[in-house]
Structure 1
Amino acid sequence: MATATSKSPAKDGWPLVRKIKYAAAAIGALFVVWIVFNFADIKAQAKLGASYGAHVACSCRYIEGRPLASCEKDFEAGMELVSVSDDPDNKRVTASVPLLAEAVAERRGEFGCIQLNDKEIAELD
């Protein structure tokens, strides 16, 4: 009685699948390492974008008198992640980059729109 010694067809593709899994894991690990080493720069860029967005939107809304939806057209290219919200009672605009940064600008009479510092923002809550 003879027995078949060939490999089953289901296992022929496993070495390729294993290589793809290892490659995906290596790419994922490299991405995590890149994020860890660049997180301070990413956070700083997010804060810069939020601050710029708050100032531009506040000036547009409370100095020029335009609606807030119109003010987002004034943003530079690459600011798609910055979202703005309006507080008309206090003449204040908040801009944020989700999970990374937030900035608030407020209209203060003759001084125009002023960025609030972290202490002033904490007092708002």
Structure 2
Amino acid sequence: MAVRRKWWMAAVLIGLVVSGALAWHWTSLSARARLGTAYGARIGCSCRYVEGRAMGSCQQDKEPGMAMVRLTDLPEEKAVKASVPLIASRTARFRPGWGCLLDPAG
């Protein structure tokens, strides 16, 4: 029983440390997530709807460090949505004559 209590206390302590670190760095993390999703949506949309490539090959165009950015093809809208779960998301849409444009942030 004492061993179980020690593991429980260790898990709580680790959770508090991780939560504190997230809170401490939240401004930087959310700014990077917003930047990464805007870049990912724009590059993914250009890959898919300007170059005409398959969405699977567009995943390879992401820069190093963008592993958390998920790209989703929205073919009925000719758009690509990029997201970092629970933090940020942006969408870029193809406009003939203009290329891919980001939707307004918000």
TM-score surpassing 0.5? yes
User: Would the alpha carbon gap of residues 31 and 90 (structure 1) be closer, same or farther in structure 2, given more than 3 Å must change?
Assistant: closer
Q: Secondary structure at the match of 2:68?
A: coil
Q: State yes or no: 1:95 paired with 2:82.
A: yes
> Which of the numbers 96, 102, 105 marks the counterpart of 1:109?
96
Structure with bigger gyration radius: 1
Q: State yes or no: 1:49 paired with 2:45.
A: no
Between the two proteins, the alignment pairs up a number of residues equal to 105
Instruction: Find the aligned partners of 2:64 and 2:18 in 1 and give their Cα distance.
Output: 25
Higher RCO structure, 1 or 2 (CA under 8 Å, sep 6+): 2
Can you list the C-alpha shifts for 1:23-68, whole angstroms capped at 9, x where unaligned?
A: 7655543332221121121111111111111011000001000011
TM-score where L is the length of structure 2 = 0.82
Instruction: Find the aligned partners of 2:15 and 2:73 in 1 and give their Cα distance.
Output: 38
TM-score where L is the length of structure 1 = 0.71
Identify the range of structure 1 (62-71 vs 77-86) with the bigger mean alpha-carbon deviation: 77-86
Instruction: Find the aligned partners of 1:22 and 1:107 in 2 and give their Cα distance.
Output: 52
Structure 2: tracts of 5 or more residues without a match: none
> Which of the numbers 43, 67, 70 marks the counterpart of 2:54?
67
User: Would the alpha carbon gap of residues 86 and 22 (structure 1) be closer, same or farther in structure 2, given more than 3 Å must change?
Assistant: closer
Equivalent residue number for residue 32 of structure 1: 19
How far did residue 112 of structure 1 move?
A: 0.9
Structure 1: tracts of 5 or more residues without a match: 1-13, 120-125
The share of aligned pairs that are identical, in percent, is 39
